[in-house]
Every structure is written in structure tokens, then in C-alpha cells.
Amino acid sequence: MSRTAAPASTDGRRRKGEERRRLLREATLRVVGRGGVAAVTQRAVAAEAGMTPSLVSYHYPTVDALLSATLAAVNDDCVAALERCAREDDPVRALAEFVAGYASGRTEALAAEYELFLQAGRHPALRAEWVRWTAALDALLAPLVTGRAARAAAAAGVDGVFLRCWCDPEPWSAAACEEVLRALVAR
């Protein structure tokens, strides 16, 4: 029995669905970035995305599903960046460049990410993404920092550098990030 390829119309519908889900996740980031997680409703996201609420509920039946998918998509990019940093000759410098670059000019998106990560303490579906982030960060730090406690302290420091880069009124340069990160891994 041979398998036949899906009709082109099926592939087109699949691509259209994937594109709509991407647009809905981006709209969710904007809504969270402006008003926090409490501002996320299917209607608010639909309005932000220029879609109908029924289309939002078709792709994401609950707000929790929408929030989880949004955080997972953002986290995909961040985890991939950490993995790239780990492969560099100087992972600390690469991490500093990532942190400084990511935090500058991404105020709304970064605010949304922090909001979503803070919700991980209350929502088990979001917690999985926090675990994935910390595992990737631990993997990056493992060759640089010996001992579980020291690595956990360095990871907490990296999270703190992200927060400071985002909150400080003056943007942090990659060199400033690198100086702090080197102090963290030298401990």
C-alpha cells in the first residue's frame, strides 16, 4: 500500500493555520507586554491580531493554552540562543552579547516574557518552560562553573543581569554584561 502526498490544499490550510497561530502568539506577547497576563482574553488577543475571537478559540481553546504556546515559542528562541552560546569559543562573551542584544529594544516583548515566567509559579503548564530555560542555562554554565550550588548561583545571576539590562534606564553594553557574567562564573 503506497502513501500519497497530501493534496496541495491541505498543505495550504496547514500553512495558513501555522501562520495564524504565530500571529496570535505575537499578539499575545503585545497584550501581555502592555497590560500583563491579566489583560489576556481571547477577545483582546483577537482584536490585537485583527482576527475574530472564534478563530482564537479554534486555535487555542483556553487562555492558558494561548499563554503556554506563547511562552514556549519565545523560549524556543532563547534556548536555541543559549545552545549557540555554549558552542562558541568564548561562551561568556557570547552570552553577554545575547543578553545585551536581547534586552535592548525589546521592552514590550521582554516585559511579556517576564510576566509569563512569573506566572510559572502558579501555572504548571508554564512551569515546564521555566524548567526548559534553566536546563539550557545550566548546560551552558556546566563547563564554566563547578558544583551545583555555584552553578545555581551563577544562573540566578544571569537571570538578574537580564532583569537589570531590561529595567535600568541606561542600556547595558555587551562589555558591561560580560564583566558581570565573568565575575559570576569566576566565583
| CATH architecture entry for 8-186 | Orthogonal Bundle (1.10)
pLDDT in tens, 115-143: 888 888 888 888 999 999 999 999 999 99
Contact 137, 117 (CB under 8 A): no
Does the pTM exceed 0.75? yes
Distance CA(151)–CA(125), nearest Å, equals 25
pLDDT exceeds cutoff 90 at 7: no
Under DSSP, is residue 168 helix (H, G, I), strand (E, B) or coil?
A: coil
Under DSSP, is residue 22 helix (H, G, I), strand (E, B) or coil?
A: helix
Domain locations in the chain as residue ranges: 8-186
DSSP 111-131: HHHHHHHHHTTT-HHHHHHHH
pLDDT in tens, 11-28: 788 899 999 999 999 999
Contact 101, 176 (CB under 8 A): no
pLDDT in tens, 51-103: 999 999 999 999 999 999 998 998 998 999 999 999 999 999 999 999 999 88
